[in-house]
């Protein structure tokens, strides 16, 4: 009986810690962005940057910049540093990724080569933000 009580107590403590950590992370994330902005991968990176000590007022998430002729450009994450501006274009891909800065399309290879998918080069995508 005592062993069951200890197991239940440990389970309650673990659940409490998980909920507490999730709430703490959400509060930290809300210093930069809302939980409904961008993708989960983008928000995860914002949270990691914050936990690394980058101040929240130096991180900008899900920016829309107006370019010439009224067009807009969306940027996933920008951080301001003492040495410059860092722009992140977040992609959530797995498998093998093939491409280089000069190719317009990159290729994602899954299932040991049985499935291949193309996507726009994120380096070129970032260059279009200018």
Structure confidence at residue 130 (pLDDT): 67
**Phi and psi angles of residue 83, each rounded to the nearest 5 degrees, phi first:** -105, -5
What is the DSSP code (8-state) at residue 128? T
**Domain residue limits, the chain:** 2-92, 93-130
Q: Judge if pTM exceeds 0.85.
A: no
116 vs 90, 104, 111, 119, CA distance in Å?
20, 16, 9, 10
The distance in angstroms from the start CA to the end CA of the chain is: 67
Distance (Å, whole) CA 56 – CA 49: 9
Write the pLDDT tens digit of every residue in 43-82. 999 999 999 999 999 999 999 988 888 888 889 999 999 9
Closest to 114 (Cα-Cα) out of 91, 96, 87, 126: 96
């Amino acid at each position: 009986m005592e062993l069951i009580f200890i197991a239940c107590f440990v389970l309650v403590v673990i659940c409490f810690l998980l909920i507490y950590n999730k709430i703490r992370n959400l509060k930290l994330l809300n210093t930069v962005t809302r939980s409904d902005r961008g993708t989960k991968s983008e928000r995860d990176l914002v949270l990691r940057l914050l936990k690394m000590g980058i101040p929240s007022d130096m991180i900008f998430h899900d920016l829309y910049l107006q370019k010439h002729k009224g067009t807009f450009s969306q940027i996933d994450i920008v951080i301001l540093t003492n040495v410059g501006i860092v722009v992140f274009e977040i992609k959530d891909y797995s498998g093998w990724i093939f491409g280089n800065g000069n190719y317009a399309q990159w290729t994602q290879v899954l299932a040991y080569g049985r499935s291949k998918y193309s996507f726009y080069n994120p380096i070129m995508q970032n260059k279009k933000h200018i």
